[in-house]
Amino acid sequence: MSQKQIAGTTVDVNVEGYLTNHAQWNRDVAAALAKELGIELTEAHWKVLDFIDRDFKEKGVVPGMRRMNKVGGILTKDLYALFPDGPIKKAALIAGYPKPASCV
């Protein structure tokens, strides 16, 4: 495990860049992580990130695509538009949660 300076905060990350301590996450950290991925967060992004946060706290895992669609009401095409090339993986990273088990 290593540390990374982001948005003026030192955070613990794994080798893939995912936070290992969600308590170190905040909206500024999220915006900085998104920017590193070439994403400028909008209200639509925050809807996804907030859903991931609520669902993770309830279920203990990052929701998969099907759950995002069915429970979160977020369409697959919208997820790909907001988080291109691996929406669940990128959204989980920005939300400060672990890489989803379903993602390689």
List active site positions: 103
Rounded Cα distance between 94 and 18, Å, is: 8
Residue 68 · residue 74 · CB < 8 Å: yes
> CA 15 from chain center: how many Å?
16
N-to-C CA span, the chain: 19
